[in-house]
Structure 1
């Protein structure tokens, strides 16, 4: 694998987040939360697009029938393939916005929220079915972040950033049970943010303020650390040919003197082997 990150898209995103490989369109989707933008990037041609949303956008994922599902400040919206927009879930709460999200193997959307002031316990994690039915996970959450599943779909990994933990749940149909700790990021190493799971069942975690991504084995052992030139990586996902390249979103928000690449989309070529994602079934 490459031990050095390269630039996939040079950008000055304020809060780049949520890279996701869209297998049907053969492109990467990622967002700039605070600039209310959804970006796409085709690594084979270099073609890019940018869509401006009406409000802060925490995540954007492909839909099975084309278009995107987007996690916005005031709920979850649907963009059809022709660009038409509709609300699937409209639930505005003053001072709160949507944050990271992921699509489960069954096609449901798991999405999180957080308060702008990052107040303790002010966030949430919920499952949204394709018909818009929302099931709230009864767990205390502050800054809901990375979510992903083991290759066999029996485990769900989850990060609530201030806990410093990567947690794991057992999956029982539409429910998650038996929350426990897989790994803890020590003081001084940054904060766990977004995650992805590779074909070996290992969990890759972006470390906000840690200038690195880490790979943890299924038993929680730290297996690999890749240092990055930017201080605030936010999330990672495998994409490209054979799902072998690890794409990493980054942020420049809150930095007095950000690195010139802060806010860009980075890539670790041939970093491993990802698993095919599932588009949202709604």
Structure 2
């Protein structure tokens, strides 16, 4: 990707202004995303209208961190929600699968960002509502439904996202401003020792996506930017976003070359007119397909 070709400033789409828009995915020819604190699962409406509201697919009574599509269950999602994992059916009803952070005496917790890997497993991070240092963790649900706490001591985990062949994982510890890289064992999901992929001097790395060249894109919370990094960690692109808190990103569209960006209004004393909007811009390198959770029990 040549730096000589600029990316236009992302344009706002749809009329919604989300409290904490994250977890955006390109699935089945449309975007799907969450408004975490309101517990809503949203998608783009049918047709070409980019000015109306997003469609509500489901509304949960707990925070909804992120979802992944479930193979063999059209319109269903596995979700990091509340303090654990659940299934959201095509009718919007939920089925609890695992309680991970419920009843912890130390601090109130919730699930945050999540994604499936190319091998069909589901990964999700947890965090405390008050971003207590080191209170968060990363969990993995295998295809047989077994849940493992993979990492702990994270403050605010975002991602994970996976490289093109699924054997590399990137995980942001947002408050600490660092993105780490892990090798992933294809058969077991076991992680190798981490290495620091990049550290940000300002703003916090938030939602991420990987493109077909292995480039890593990340929203930079608090800085109004999206960054693209080369596979060796070199900063390749900076995209300015007209919102202070970009939060989630994905690469989608018919050719995979539309960059979608969510943003948030939460915590801003005087949100601007575009804070909380969903944006899009065109890029050169297409993204990877959204991976599905592939349960053995379907």
TMscore range, shorter length: over 0.9
How far 1:194 moved relative to its partner? 1.0
Contact 1:246 1:272 in 2 (8 A): no
Contact 2:16 2:54 in 1 (8 A): no
How far 1:42 moved relative to its partner? 4.8
From the superposition, tell whether residues 93 and 130 of structure 1 become closer, same or farther in structure 2 (CA, over 3 Å).
farther
How far 1:133 moved relative to its partner? 0.8
Contact 1:70 1:77 in 2 (8 A): yes
2:94 corresponds to which of 85, 100, 116: 85
1:61 and 2:74 are equivalent in the alignment: no
Task: Report the aligned-residue RMSD.
Answer: 1.6
Task: Show structure 2 runs of 5+ residues with no match.
Answer: 1-5
SS at match of 2:194: strand
Task: Show structure 1 runs of 5+ residues with no match.
Answer: none
How far 1:224 moved relative to its partner? 0.4
Equivalent residue runs for 1:232-251 within 5 Å: 232-251=245-264
SS at match of 2:243: coil
In the aligned structure 2, how far is the partner of 1:109 from the partner of 1:206? Answer: 22
What is the CA deviation profile of residues 165-222 of structure 1, one whole-angstrom value per residue up to 9, with x for unaligned ones?
1110011131111200011101xx2111111001110100100001000000010100
1:178 corresponds to which of 193, 198, 206: 193
How far 1:44 moved relative to its partner? 4.8
What residue is the counterpart of 2:132 in the other structure?
119
SS at match of 1:101: strand
What residue is the counterpart of 1:17 in the other structure?
22
Contact 2:68 2:291 in 1 (8 A): no
SS at match of 1:34: helix
TM-score by length of 2: 0.89
In the aligned structure 1, how far is the partner of 2:236 from the partner of 2:185? Answer: 28
Contact 1:102 1:111 in 2 (8 A): yes
What residue is the counterpart of 2:3 in the other structure?
none
Aligned length: 278
1:6 and 2:11 are equivalent in the alignment: yes
TM-score by length of 1: 0.94
How far 1:131 moved relative to its partner? 3.1
How far 1:3 moved relative to its partner? 1.7
SS at match of 1:242: coil
